[in-house]
Amino acid sequence: MMRLSRWLRSVGVFLLPAPCWVPPERWLGPLPRPSLMYRGSVLGAWHSARCWCQAWTEEPRTLYSSLRMNGDHKLDVYDREKQNFLQHFPQIVKVLTEDDTKCPDTGDAVARLREVLEYNAIGGKYQRGLTVLVTLQALVEPKKLDADSLQRALTVGWCVELLQAFFLVADDIMDAALTRRGKTCWYQKPGIGLDAVNDAFLLEACVYRLLKFYCREQPYYLNLIELFLQTSYQTEIGQTLDLITAPQGNVDLGRFTEKRYKSIVRYKAAFYTFYLPVAAAMYMAGIDGEEEHSSAKKILLEIGEFFQIQDDYLDLFGDPSVTGKIGTDIQDNKCSWLVVQCLLRASPEQRQILQENYGQKEAEKVARVKLLYEDLDLPAVFEQYEKASYSRLVALIEQCAPTLPAAIFLGLVHKIYKRKK
């Protein structure tokens, strides 16, 4: 009997080029175009089948490349939409500052707000914000997405980016970080200092001002408000777990367990990085059922854990000129994936080395911890984890996303697999 993987590869090869029964674009006329849309077309089913066959039988980067080589740019839609997303930012700033700048009582403060927005919201990868737009386009037929709907999607995407900016400004202060996105942290700039705490509050307030301005007449407005509020709370709970697990100047290696690490990751990063933008798009598409959101959340929190483990690895082993920041997890006594893995493998002597050097600011002690990680071959452990996680996530997507386009989740996984920043 032919093995499943071989059969899938055979089917995938058949499906990879557009088969003869897929009509050229000009023949479709008013008919729906090939898509992976929610409740979409038969041609979308063909595309989905092709993705699944390749996802199960090819190395992920090969899949990504082969899809592009065959003229399918669905998985590269983030790059296509990035320019539109960035072009909407001046409108965001205008809405948030234009009226108030005319008021003599608050003019200086609003000018400061503009500076805060332009420094802290720009310069990232915009993956979270773009995910709102890309997901909505996957869930709603193009003919139902008018200019106003797209503008609202762009705005909600920027709300996600502003919420992240709020988190990052505050996090950099708490971590005494030096750089963010390749430039000096906001609070480190001359004349800013701890005034950045208030600036972070301003960024958070902008989220709800934008939602009210653009979405208050929409049926999903309340769902979005509750989603952003709940996500903020979950992220702040995650930050609290992070802080109390690794207090400055008090290194307790016994706190660094896999269970605690997973809790920190889920609450501090996964909810706002992956569930928030996809769930926002689902609500905007009229998908508010508990079953659909529960399935999406199960997948997205797992992707979020994968993403954060990559972040922890890049904090130490990434190239700062690529990541845009200088990692400080060792100095900050962080409960990171690397230290957890080190403790699982360390001998009593190696654990003592970690105890004596972890959570210290001196460069030689940081270097000693890094050397210990290398002695335990943690880069290879990470590489194995990354490959195994890809296969596990593909299986989870197949299991948990029967009513939603698999391309939404597969696209996110491919976007972050083997990332360098």
Calculate the alpha carbon distances from 61 to 64, 240, 312, 387 in Å.
Answer: 5, 36, 22, 11
To the query of whether residue 365 is one of the catalytic residues in this protein, the response is no
* Residue from 50, 89, 152, 242 carrying the catalytic annotation: 242
* Residue from 172, 199, 312, 332 carrying the catalytic annotation: 312
* Residue from 50, 128, 152, 180 carrying the catalytic annotation: 180
Torsion of CA 282, 284, 286, 292, to 10 degrees: 10
* Residue from 172, 199, 311, 315 carrying the catalytic annotation: 311
To the query of whether residue 72 is one of the catalytic residues in this protein, the response is no
Cα separation of 131 and 350, whole Å? 42
* Residue from 271, 306, 307, 409 carrying the catalytic annotation: 307
* Residue from 175, 181, 260, 387 carrying the catalytic annotation: 175
Cα separation of 244 and 230, whole Å? 21
* Residue from 125, 298, 418, 421 carrying the catalytic annotation: 125
To the query of whether residue 180 is one of the catalytic residues in this protein, the response is yes
* Residue from 74, 89, 128, 166 carrying the catalytic annotation: 166
* Residue from 85, 128, 152, 171 carrying the catalytic annotation: 171
Cα separation of 56 and 141, whole Å? 28
* Residue from 268, 334, 368, 415 carrying the catalytic annotation: 268
Residue of 403, 408, 411, 400 whose CA lies nearest to 138 = 408
To the query of whether residue 252 is one of the catalytic residues in this protein, the response is no
Which phi and psi angles does 333 have, rounded to 5°?
A: 60, 40
b/e 247-282 (16+ beta carbons within 10 angstroms → b): eeeebebeebeeebbbbbbbbbbbbbbbbbbbbbbb
Write out the two tokens for 344. 């699982």
Enzyme catalytic residues: 125, 166, 171, 175, 180, 242, 268, 307, 311-312
